[in-house]
Amino acid sequence: MSPVLAGVLQLLALTTALGLAHRPLGDHMARVYSSDRHLRVEKWIYKGIGADPDTEMRWPAYLRGVLAFSAVGVLFLYLLQRLQGSLPGSLGFKSIDPDQAFNTAASFVSNTNWQSYYGEQAMGHVVQTAGLAVQNFVSAAVGIAVAVALVRGFARSRTGELGNFWSDLVRGVVRILIPVSVIGAIVLVACGAIQNFAGIHEVGQFLGGSRQWNGGAVASQEAIKELGTNGGGYFNANSAHPFENPNGFTNLFEVFLILVIPFAITRTFGRMVGSLKQGYAILATMATIWIGFTALMMWTEFHHGAPAFDIAGGAMEGKENRFGVGGSSIFAVASTLTSTGAVDSFHSSFTGFGGGITMLGMQLGEIAPGGTGSGLYGMLIMAIIAVFIAGLMVGRTPEYLGKKIGTPEIKFAACYILITPALVLVLTAVSMALPTPPHSMLNPGAHGFSEILYAYTSGANNNGSAFAGLSADTDWFNTTIGLAMLLGRFLPMVFVLALAGSLAGQRPVPATAGTLRTEKPLFTGLLVGTILIVAGLTYFPALALGPLAEGLAS
Amino acid sequence: MGCVKGVHPAVWETSRAGAHGAERGFPLIVRSVPHLIQELTMADVAFVVTTIAVFALVALIAKGVAKL
């Protein structure tokens, strides 16, 4: 079988699996967030944290819950790493340095999972399981909670109430993330991923010599790493490591885990706003961009233009033989179009255009399908921008899902889409202008610039993947990328929740003959165009200096 | 994820040292409680303050956004 055909068949199998999971998972999530009943274990948790799950919250209270919970998460994870050297189960590893501990704490709480450390050489079992794995669950649940609050904003009228943050958080973890992760972990263990608390083993190498490896609860962390679109690997090689991702099937299964919630939540959205067709329109927009990017990535990576490519059957530098060009391309696009950031190949080694595609995927705002929850709310913000543009064209007050998109809503949406580009472009420019940060670049010229642009794009968009080649374990990068991750995560949430509160307070506007039909393919096309144009106008100059310049020169 | 950090020989050596005994079980390296405090430095204070300041800034912006 040719590598191209194998890649296409993998994509077809993945699409089929996602299609099969879409309805049951989407409906399940809608039931979870609409139910009045609390499970017994949830009641124990509410009692433990002193929260009343039945109190309705307006957006400022909901946001206070998000911020308080996340701030405590950062401080706890920071402390855990700083005290690792004194804790049991640390495998003898010393405490993490302050700047790196801050970076890692910000990274895992913000659902970014940028790692400026080698997992197998720095983090013991306690930090991995009690710190990083816990954040993999709760940071994903926070994202879903904020998305659900926005959906309630569309679904509710004449009330500013958006639900209860603590209830949404706990239900997301207990009823969605843990059950699916358990199934995912069992599949991964069955396929060869490791799951133990072993210490360090001396392992003989095929080509001679030996290497030391520690064990760990890898499969369970791998499942939530992908399902929660987190991406932080147990090992430095991430999903290119055979302990995390043993074979071609697990590679595809991990991509499935990455995409399943972000795609299924569009059905949850349709259910909760009372129109499945609206959910399908959002799904179609996400799927169009995802398939388009995957096809483009495969084309650039399979494209034979040099003798080395012809011999290898594609651009194989930095890619695993177990997964090939097809599996690596599918993984790279899924990882960077969501907020996952896991890798099974090294994006720096992709062709110039291939590297640009991974970067552009993040720069779109990771909305196709995006992170768990964050993908949906990012896409709904773009939908509001799209109906606003359509309203300007025909001279009507824009409406979306029966709500008027007036001045406050547009202000919130506009602020949302400006935050991340501002963080990325300003921090990249400052890093390039200062004398020391460019010393961390492994390569000169356009590729070196891409390394820094990619780092801030990944951090501020809460992706977490690394281009490779940048020595980011410096005070400057640890601190500034840490700040970019926190601000890139929580500032947009302010505007999402403010928008939700504003929408929930409105009375519904009845649809008329002049209302833009947002469940139709025309709107899907408009939305895709809006996303590409907004991202293109924002990032094109920076992309032209990096991956585009490199791609055109090669 | 990231592949962005230099190698840590010192850490590696420590980890190897901790790997002996009862066939790579769960190494229990527990130090005295006073040592926990000694590990913390002024840099820790700076990063804790930075974290609190970031969240306070976001909360402050939210207050402003409520008036939009």
Judge contact between A463 and A333, C-beta under 8 A.
no
pLDDT score of B38: 62
The number of CA neighbours under 13 Å toward the Cβ of A247 is 7
What is the sign of the dihedral through the CA atoms of A301, A230, A34 and B63?
negative
pLDDT score of B35: 57
Judge contact between A453 and A424, C-beta under 8 A.
yes
Element (H, E) at A203: strand A200-204
In a 3-state reduction of DSSP, which class is residue A304? coil
CB contacts under 8 A, B 3-62 vs A, are 3-8, 10-12, 14-19, 24-31, 35-36, 39-41, 43-44, 46-48, 50-52, 54-55, 58-59, 61-62
Per-residue pLDDT tens for A50-61? 999 999 999 999
- Residues with pLDDT less than 70, chain B: 1-39
Predicted TM-score (pTM) of this structure: 0.92
**Distance in angstroms between the alpha carbons of the first and the last residue of chain B:** 37
Q: What is the dihedral of CA A172, A361, A420, A102, to 10 degrees?
A: 60
Largest Cα–Cα separation, chain A: 75
> How wide is the angle at C-alpha A262 spanned by C-alphas A260 and A266, nearest 5°?
110
Q: Report the distance separating Cα A201 and Cα A313, nearest Å.
A: 36
Please state the three-class secondary structure of A398-445 as a single string.
Answer: CEECCEECCHHHHHHHHHHHHHHHHHHHHHHHHHHHCCCHHHHECCCH
pLDDT score of B37: 61
With an 8 Å Cβ cutoff, are B11 and A94 in contact?
yes
In a 3-state reduction of DSSP, which class is residue A8? helix
Question: Which of A116, A479, A491 is nearest residue B5 as measured by Cβ atoms?
Answer: A116
Q: Report the distance separating Cα A43 and Cα A305, nearest Å.
A: 61
In a 3-state reduction of DSSP, which class is residue A452? helix
pLDDT score of B29: 46
pLDDT score of B12: 35
Per the listing, tokens 């944290």 go with: A49
pLDDT score of A313: 67
Q: Distances from the Cα of A432 to the Cαs of A446, A450, A548, A552, in angstroms?
A: 12, 11, 18, 22
In 3D space, the residue among A290, A144, A112, A133 whose CA is nearest the CA of residue A223 turns out to be A133
- Residues with pLDDT less than 70, chain A: 304-306, 308, 310-313, 554
Closest CA in chain B for residue A488? B58
In a 3-state reduction of DSSP, which class is residue A400? strand
In a 3-state reduction of DSSP, which class is residue A119? helix
Q: Taking the CB of residue A79, how many other CB atoms lie within 10 A of it?
A: 17
pLDDT score of A469: 83
In a 3-state reduction of DSSP, which class is residue A200? strand
Q: Which of A66, A69, A74, A346 to mutate to test the interface with B (most CBs of B within 10 A)?
A: A74
pLDDT score of A88: 86
Q: Report the distance separating Cα A401 and Cα A59, nearest Å.
A: 20
With an 8 Å Cβ cutoff, are B39 and A75 in contact?
no
In a 3-state reduction of DSSP, which class is residue A285? helix
